[in-house]
Amino acid sequence: MLHSRSVQDQKMDSFVRMLDFVINGKELYKPLIINVINDARLLSLGQKNYYTIDRDDYHIIVYLAEKDKSFFENVNTETLQKADYEHILQTLMSDRHHAYA
């Protein structure tokens, strides 16, 4: 059976791949990942709103901020560790596993 895939699904797949690359030491995608994490953080803290976050990654930012608000309220984008990136990846993959099962 063929599954229809939205643009959001494709962007989420790309983000997950870039996040995995960062976890495995490839720094090339780190600035892109940090921008999304920072917007999710600022949205969680109320310092940005749905109209001021990055439009290109809107659905990823909103998903992360709503799915794990307490994590993003407390994350420091200046001191992100591998464990932080892994936590974000796990957050993203938990629902995706159920969506494709």
- Residue 4 has what pLDDT? 53
d(CA 53, CA 42) in angstroms, rounded, equals: 9
In 3D space, the residue among 84, 88, 25, 15 whose CA is nearest the CA of residue 56 turns out to be 15
Domains of the chain: which residue ranges? 7-100
Report the predicted TM-score, pTM, of the whole model to 2 decimal places: 0.86
Q: Is 45 helix (H, G, I), strand (E, B) or coil?
A: helix
Give 19-59 pLDDT, tens digit per residue: 999 999 999 999 999 999 999 999 999 999 999 999 999 99
- Residue 2, pLDDT > 50, answer no
Whole-angstrom Cα distance, residue 71 to residue 76?
10
Average pLDDT across the chain, whole number: 90
